[in-house]
Structure 1
C-alpha cells in the first residue's frame, strides 16, 4: 500500500513539474519495489533535470521489466524515447538505431494505432532519405488521427512542418508548425516531452527563415510552459534558435543574453545544442567586429551541418583565410542535395570567397550552378544573398550598371525581410559600385549604411563605411553614444516594470513625477528595441543580476 501511495505521490509531482520531488519519490518507491513504473518515472524525472545518463540507465531497466511482464506497448514507447535520447542527447546513432529496432520488436503484435504511429514517426526521424521521412511522417499523422492521439499528431505536424520549411515550402510548413504549437501549448494533457520537441522545431524553422514575429510569439507562449516545467534541452536549443533570429533582425542587445544562456545551458545536453549555440554566438561576434572571439568560438566546431559550415567559413574569410573558407564551403555544398535551399547561403558565401581570392570566373560559375534550376524552392535570405553576390560578381567583372541593379534588388529584399545588417552591408556595396560614376549617390548610400551599422553595433563594417565616405570627400558624422546603454535611473525603472508596477506606482516608489517615469519607460523601450512593457519585463527577468 505504501508503494502504491508513493507512486501516486511521485506521479502527481511529475505532472506538476516538481522534478526534484518526483525523482525522490520515484526513487523511494523503486527502493522498496523495483517496479517498471517506478523506474520509468524515475528515468523521465532525471531527464527533465538534465541528468541524461541516469535517465537512460533507469529507463533501460524499466524496458526490461515491462517486457518481462508482457507490457509490450509500454515497452515500445520507452524504447522509442531511449532512441531519441541516445541520438539527440548523446549523439550515439548506433545506439539510437538499436533502440528503434527493440521498439519495433516489442510492438510486433500491437494493435494500438498510436504505438504504431510513434514507431513510424521515430523511424522517419532517423531516416536519412528525405522521401522516406516525408512518407513516414504522413503515415504517422494518419495513424494519429485514427487513434485520436493529439501528441502524436502534433509531433508529426511539427516534424513535417520543419521539413517543409527547410525545403523551401515556407508557408505550408509554418502552417503545420503553428497547428502543432497550438495543440501542445493549448491545454494539451499528454506527454510533456512532445511540447519540448515541437517547440524546438518551431524555433528551428523560424531561425531558418528569420521570422522574428512568429518566434517571439511562440517563445513567449513556450516561456510559460518553461517556467512551470523547465527543461535544459528546451532552453538550450530553443534559446540558440531564438537568439539567431534576434541576430538576423538586428536586435543584438536582446540576442546576446539569449545566446550566452544557450551556450551555458548546452554544456550537458548533447553536442548539437552546443554546436548551434556556439555557431550563433560566433555569427553575432563576427558582425560586431569581434573577430578574435568569433574565431575562438568556431575552433573545432563540427561543420557537418550547413549553418555551422557557413559561420566557420565567414570567420575564416574575415580572417584572410579565403582558401580555407572556399574549401570548407565546397565540402558543405557537397553534403547537401543539389536542390536543398540551404545551399544558397553556402553558394553565396563561396562566391564571395572566390572574389576575395581574385577568382571572378569561379564566383560566377558557383552562382550559375545555383540558378540552373528555376523551379527550385528558395528561402528568403538565400534568395537575397544570391542576388547580392550576383551584383558583386558583376562589379568585379566591370559591369557597374548590372551590379547596381542587382545590388539594389538585393537591398530591397533584405529590407522587406527585416534583415538590417545584410541591408546595410549591401547598401555599402552599392555605394562602392556607383562611386566612380556618381559620387554624390555613393556618399548618400555610404552615409545611410554608416548610420544603420552604427545603430546595430557592427564596428568593422561601420569603419569601412566611414572610410569610404572620407574617400569621397565627406567627413563622417561623430559616432553617437551607445543607444543601448541604460542610465542608472532607467535601470531602476526597468527593475520595477519587471516587478509589475504601474507608472504611478513607480513614480511613488522613486519619488519622481509620472511624466518623468513615462519618459524613462519610453526611453528603455527605444534603447532595447522592445515593443511593450511586457517585453521589457521579460527582458529584465532574463537578465536579472547582469548589467543593462
Structure 2
C-alpha cells in the first residue's frame, strides 16, 4: 500500500506516457531512510512492463559498491551479463565496460522503451555513477527513463557531483517529505484493517511521518496483541502501552525478535552477503543445502524481513540488514567474512563476491588467501584495481619477502597494473621485484612493464636506463631480449634522440626469436623510421605487416591500437578515403571495446581525416568526443593542440571567429608553433583584413632551424603561404616556399605533394592552367577545401584574360565552399574576384536557417534519416564509420534544430517530409 504519494504517482504515470511516446527523462528521488523511495518507484513503474517497456532494476549495495559496474550489471539478464565477462584481458576494463553498457542501453532502447532504476544511489560504485551521468546526457534522444533513489545525507562527493550533473542536464529532483498527520492516520487504518482510535493514531504520529517507522511500529503492536478491536469497530491501542519504540532501529529489532532461532541463524550468513543474495550463495556460506535453508527463507518472507527480487532474495529494507549485522559481535565479523569467502571458493563462487568478503574481513587473512589472490590477480586488477591493490597489499604484509609467492604477487600486480594503465601501482611493484629477483626473464618482464609505464609519463631517460641495465644480463632469453630491444628503439625515437638503426636491429632480433610480440613492436618502430625518412608507403607496409603478425593477442592490444591509428593516418596521405574509413572504424571499435587511454588520440585522428574529407560536421562532433577524453594538458600538450586546432580551423573557415579565439586561447594551445595551429592562427588575421600579419604567421614555417618539424605537412599550407606572398609582393618569400615544397616532393613524390607543387608554381608564375590541373586532382580525390581554394586561385588568375571563364570557375569554387559551410572562403573569393572585375550575380554565402530540416547539415541529415528508420546509435555509427558518441552528438543537434523531443518525433517529421 502507498499512502500520501498521489501527486508523485500521477507524475510517474505522466513520465511513463511520455516514455512510451519516445521521450526520455531523468528523475532523482530523494528522502531519508524509510520515507518510501523504493516503494514509490516500485508502485510508480509497476505498470511499465504492461506498456511494453523493458524495466532494469539495480540496487546498490554497500558491500560490493567498490566493484566497478557491479551495481548496474546485476540489473541485466544472465545472457547480457556474459558479454561483460568476456571483456578484453588488456586495456582499461572499467572504461571498456562503461562504453559497452552505454552501447547496450542504446540498443535496448531501439527495441523498446527502457526504464532503468538505480536504488540506493548513495552506495553505487564510481563506474556506475559515471554511466548514470553519461546516460543523463542521452535521455533527450532515447526512450529512456532514468530513475535514481538516494538518501540526501550523508552524501559522497561523487554522488553530489552526479546530482549537479543531472540537474544541470534538466533532471527532475523529487524530494519525499514526511507524511502529514492525516495521511499517517490513513496508513495506520490500512495496516490494522479498520479505522484507528485516537490513542493508536497519537502513538503512530510519534514516528515523525516516516512510513517505514509507522509500519514497523504498528506491526510490532499487532504482533504483541497491543491493538484491540473496540465495539464500535475501531482499532485502538491497549491501555497498558505507554510509549512507542525509541527509534526506527528499535522498531525493526522488535520485528526480528519474532523470528524463530533457526531462521535468525539462517539469516546471519545472508547478512554477510549484502542486501541481495542468491539461495545458492546462502547455502554455500551457511554450509547447508538449498532445501535446508528454504524453510528459514519462507519464514523471513512471511515476516516481511525478506522480499523476492527476481531470481534472488533481498532484505526488505537495508535498515533490516543493518540491524541484523549490528547484532553480530564485532570481534566475530572478520572471521565470519573469511569463512564466507572460503565457502564461496569451495563452491566456485564469483571472484568479485569472494573478494568482497575478503575486503569486509578488513585485513585478517587465512593461509589460503594469498595463493587465491595470485591466481586471480589479473582479473581483480582489471575489474577493481583499487580492491586488488588493497587485498594484495594485505597479503604481501603477511608473506615473508623470500617466499616465491611474494614475488609472484608483486609481479602479477605490476603486469596487471600495466595492462590496465595504472602507472603508479605498476612502477611501485615493478621496482620492488627488480630489486630482489634473480630470474633474468622475470626481470625482463618487469622491465618491460616499468619502461612502458615510464614512457607513458614521458620519463624517457629513466626508461632507457632501466632497459640498458636489464639488457646487460646475458641470461635473458632471446624472446625477452628481442622485446626489450624493440622497446629501446621506441624510447630513442620518443625521446627525440633518433637512432634509425635501432629499429632494424630490433626487428632482426625479433625475427630470430620468432616472437610475434617483439616483431610487432619492432615493425611499429620501423614504420616510424620509414616515415621520418619520407617513405610513407614503406611505413604503411610495415604497419600492415605488424597488424597481421600480432593478430588479436590481448597482450598486444595497445600496440594494435597504435598501429590502427597510424594506419588510418598513413592511408589518408594517399587520399584513399575508403580504406581510411575502414581503418578509422576499426581503431574506434577497438578503443571503445578495450577502454584504452588512447580514446582521445583515436577520435582526434578521426577528426583530422574527416576534416580533410570535407565532412566537417562529423569532424567537429569527433572533436567534441575527443575533448571528453583529453588527458592532463601538461602531460600531453600535443593532443590539446591537435584537437583545438582542428576545431579552430573549421570554425575559422565558417567565419565563427569567436570560437576560433576561444580555442586558440586555451593554455596548452596558446603560443604553440605546431603546424595545425599556425594555420589556424593565420586565418583570423586575414579575415580581419591583416594579410601581412597572416603571412608573417605562416612564414614561421620557413625557418631553417624548424624545417624538420614541418616537413611532413608542408604541402598542406604552402599554397596559402604562396598566395599571400604573391599578393603582397613578397616574391622572394613565395619562391622560398615553392623551393622547400619542391624539395619535399622530390624526397617523397606522393600525388598530393605533386599536386601542391603544381598549384604553387601556377600561383608564382600567374599560370591558371597549372592551378586547374591541381584542382582536378583534388576533385578526383575528393578533397573539397583544397578543390575550392584551387578553383578560387585559378579564377583570380584568369580574370584579366577571360572573365567569363573566371566567373564559371569562381562559381564552381563557391559551390564547393557552400557545401562545406565555408562562409569565410566565400567572402574571400568574392572579394578577390571583385578586385579583378568578376562578380557573381548573387554574392555572399547563403545563410543556413537556424531551425527546421534546412538547418541540418549534410552529416546531420544522414543521421536523421537513419534515426527515422529506427536504427540505434551504435548501428548508425557502424554504417557511417563513426563512433557511437559522435552519432549521439549529431542526434542532440538534430533534436535541437527540429524542435523535436524524441527520436519518435524525428521519425514522424521525416515521414511527413518524405514524398508519398
Q: TM-score range by the shorter chain?
A: 0.7 to 0.9
Counterpart of 2:540 in structure 1 is 174
- The answer to whether residue 870 in structure 2 is matched with residue 496 in structure 1 is yes
Q: What is the deviation of 1:251?
A: 1.0
- The answer to whether residue 433 in structure 2 is matched with residue 68 in structure 1 is no
| Cα gap change, 1:107 to 1:161, in 2 (>3 Å) | closer
Q: What is the deviation of 1:285?
A: 2.2
Counterpart of 1:11 in structure 2 is 378
Larger radius of gyration between Structure 1 and Structure 2: 2
Counterpart of 1:472 in structure 2 is 838
Describe the SS at the equivalent of 1:289.
Answer: coil
Describe the SS at the equivalent of 1:496.
Answer: coil
- The answer to whether residue 631 in structure 2 is matched with residue 267 in structure 1 is yes
In structure 2, which of residues 507, 516, 520 is the aligned counterpart of residue 150 of structure 1? 516
- The answer to whether residue 893 in structure 2 is matched with residue 547 in structure 1 is yes
When the two structures are superposed, what TM-score results if normalisation uses the length of structure 1?
0.79
| Cα gap change, 1:432 to 1:271, in 2 (>3 Å) | same
Counterpart of 1:439 in structure 2 is 803
Taking only aligned residues, the RMSD between alpha carbons, in angstroms, comes to 3.7
Q: What is the deviation of 1:427?
A: 0.5
Rounded Cα–Cα distance in structure 1 between residues aligned with 2:804 and 2:584: 45
Counterpart of 1:330 in structure 2 is 702
Counterpart of 1:32 in structure 2 is 395
**Aligned 8 A contact 2:721 2:737 in 1:** yes
| Cα gap change, 1:474 to 1:200, in 2 (>3 Å) | closer
- The answer to whether residue 757 in structure 2 is matched with residue 394 in structure 1 is no
In structure 1, which of residues 353, 358, 361 is the aligned counterpart of residue 729 of structure 2? 358
When the two structures are superposed, what TM-score results if normalisation uses the length of structure 2?
0.49
**Aligned 8 A contact 1:494 1:540 in 2:** no
- The answer to whether residue 560 in structure 2 is matched with residue 195 in structure 1 is yes
Measured against aligned partners, the alpha-carbon deviations of 1:370-394 in whole angstroms (never above 9, x if no partner) come to 4358742144444333332222222
Q: What is the deviation of 1:466?
A: 4.7
Counterpart of 2:579 in structure 1 is 214
Describe the SS at the equivalent of 2:772.
Answer: helix
Rounded Cα–Cα distance in structure 1 between residues aligned with 2:389 and 2:649: 43
**Aligned 8 A contact 1:345 1:386 in 2:** no
Q: What is the deviation of 1:250?
A: 0.6
**Aligned 8 A contact 1:9 1:25 in 2:** no
Rounded Cα–Cα distance in structure 2 between residues aligned with 1:474 and 1:544: 34
- The answer to whether residue 490 in structure 2 is matched with residue 125 in structure 1 is yes
Correspondences of 1:245-256 after superposition (within 5 Å): 245-256=609-620
Q: What is the deviation of 1:431?
A: 1.0
| Cα gap change, 1:75 to 1:63, in 2 (>3 Å) | farther
Counterpart of 1:506 in structure 2 is none
| Cα gap change, 1:293 to 1:181, in 2 (>3 Å) | farther
- The answer to whether residue 759 in structure 2 is matched with residue 385 in structure 1 is no
Q: What is the deviation of 1:256?
A: 1.1
Q: What is the deviation of 1:467?
A: 5.1
Counterpart of 2:460 in structure 1 is 96
Correspondences of 1:17-56 after superposition (within 5 Å): 19-33=382-396, 35=406, 37-39=408-410, 42=413, 55-56=423-424
| Cα gap change, 1:2 to 1:23, in 2 (>3 Å) | same
Measured against aligned partners, the alpha-carbon deviations of 1:5-62 in whole angstroms (never above 9, x if no partner) come to 2233232356xxxx343553344223321645545555566566665xxx23542442
Higher helix share: 1
Counterpart of 1:298 in structure 2 is 664
Describe the SS at the equivalent of 2:818.
Answer: helix
Counterpart of 1:517 in structure 2 is none
**Aligned 8 A contact 1:260 1:281 in 2:** no
Describe the SS at the equivalent of 1:546.
Answer: helix
**Aligned 8 A contact 1:347 1:370 in 2:** yes
| Cα gap change, 1:56 to 1:134, in 2 (>3 Å) | same
Describe the SS at the equivalent of 1:437.
Answer: coil
| Cα gap change, 1:324 to 1:76, in 2 (>3 Å) | farther
Rounded Cα–Cα distance in structure 2 between residues aligned with 1:205 and 1:118: 25
Q: What is the deviation of 1:363?
A: 1.0
Rounded Cα–Cα distance in structure 2 between residues aligned with 1:431 and 1:96: 52
Rounded Cα–Cα distance in structure 2 between residues aligned with 1:496 and 1:373: 49
Describe the SS at the equivalent of 1:111.
Answer: coil
Q: What is the deviation of 1:260?
A: 1.9
Tell me, which stretches of 5 or more residues in structure 1 are unaligned?
396-402, 502-524
Counterpart of 1:140 in structure 2 is 506
Counterpart of 1:398 in structure 2 is none
- The answer to whether residue 815 in structure 2 is matched with residue 451 in structure 1 is yes
**Aligned 8 A contact 1:454 1:462 in 2:** yes
**Aligned 8 A contact 2:414 2:449 in 1:** no
| Cα gap change, 1:294 to 1:115, in 2 (>3 Å) | farther
Rounded Cα–Cα distance in structure 1 between residues aligned with 2:566 and 2:887: 25
| Cα gap change, 1:417 to 1:464, in 2 (>3 Å) | same
Rounded Cα–Cα distance in structure 1 between residues aligned with 2:411 and 2:614: 45
Tell me, which stretches of 5 or more residues in structure 2 are unaligned?
1-367, 398-405, 849-853, 895-916
Q: What is the deviation of 1:172?
A: 2.5
Q: What is the deviation of 1:434?
A: 0.9
- The answer to whether residue 488 in structure 2 is matched with residue 114 in structure 1 is no
**Aligned 8 A contact 2:725 2:731 in 1:** yes
Measured against aligned partners, the alpha-carbon deviations of 1:245-276 in whole angstroms (never above 9, x if no partner) come to 11001111211111122223123363332222
**Aligned 8 A contact 1:26 1:39 in 2:** no
Measured against aligned partners, the alpha-carbon deviations of 1:104-160 in whole angstroms (never above 9, x if no partner) come to 112312432232223322332233699954321122122222222212212222332
**Aligned 8 A contact 1:162 1:201 in 2:** no
| Cα gap change, 1:69 to 1:24, in 2 (>3 Å) | same
| Cα gap change, 1:500 to 1:245, in 2 (>3 Å) | closer
Describe the SS at the equivalent of 1:172.
Answer: helix
Rounded Cα–Cα distance in structure 2 between residues aligned with 1:384 and 1:190: 42
Measured against aligned partners, the alpha-carbon deviations of 1:354-374 in whole angstroms (never above 9, x if no partner) come to 335431222123313443587
| Cα gap change, 1:60 to 1:198, in 2 (>3 Å) | farther
Counterpart of 1:161 in structure 2 is 527
Describe the SS at the equivalent of 1:336.
Answer: helix
Describe the SS at the equivalent of 1:168.
Answer: coil
**Aligned 8 A contact 1:7 1:26 in 2:** no
**Aligned 8 A contact 1:243 1:255 in 2:** yes
**Aligned 8 A contact 1:339 1:376 in 2:** no
Measured against aligned partners, the alpha-carbon deviations of 1:219-261 in whole angstroms (never above 9, x if no partner) come to 32233333332112x2111211111011001111211111122
Counterpart of 1:284 in structure 2 is 650
Higher strand share: 2
Counterpart of 2:827 in structure 1 is 463
Counterpart of 1:511 in structure 2 is none
